[in-house]
Amino acid sequence: MALPKSYYCLQSQPEPTYNQNQTVHELSITESILSIVLEKATTAQASRVTRVSLTVGKLSGVVGDSVEFYFELLSRDTVAAGAVLTIDQPQARLRCRDCSCEFMPADIDWTCPNCQNRGVDIMSGREFFVDSIEVE
Ligand SMILES: [Zn+2]
């Protein structure tokens, strides 16, 4: 049984970071994900959570592997124990401020492929939310 999607967007999105330091705390992020999952599972009177799908944009600053690790750890002894965690990581999409060309950047090179301008706006890639929860 899949719960309706509108149910569980995270209310506050974490601030994205762009450096390599682990300034985003996956542990607390995972705690909030799990509390959403458990709350919705309780509301749905579920005996077990079978699958949790997350969308984690490449620019969100959230490390999927760490979330996976903490989720397994934190969900022990809850109805979400053993749930399959799937993480969708949409590519970053940028738009050049000069020529409005939209492109997917390769790694950290954010130069416009059309006019070589470096001034870009982020169109997508910062998403971070619980996409769906399946329960039994
Ligand atoms: Zn351009």
Please report the domains of the chain, with CATH numbers, ordered by start residue.
24-91+125-135 (3.30.2320.50)
The predicted model scores a pTM of 0.73
Distance 125 CA to ligand 1 centre (A): 19
Distance 123 CA to ligand 1 centre (A): 14
Distance 4 CA to ligand 1 centre (A): 40
pLDDT digit string (tens) for the chain, length 136 residues: 665 543 333 434 444 444 444 545 788 899 999 999 999 999 999 999 999 999 999 888 888 889 999 999 999 999 999 999 999 998 899 999 999 999 998 777 889 999 999 999 999 998 889 999 999 9
Distance 95 CA to ligand 1 centre (A): 8
SS (H, E, C) the chain: CECCHHHHCCCCCCCCCCCCCCCCCHHHHHHHHHHHHHHHHHHCCCCCEEEEEEEECCCCCCCHHHHHHHHHHHHCCCCCCCCEEEEECCCCEEEECCCCCEECCECCECCCCCCCCCCEEEEECCCEEEEEEEEC
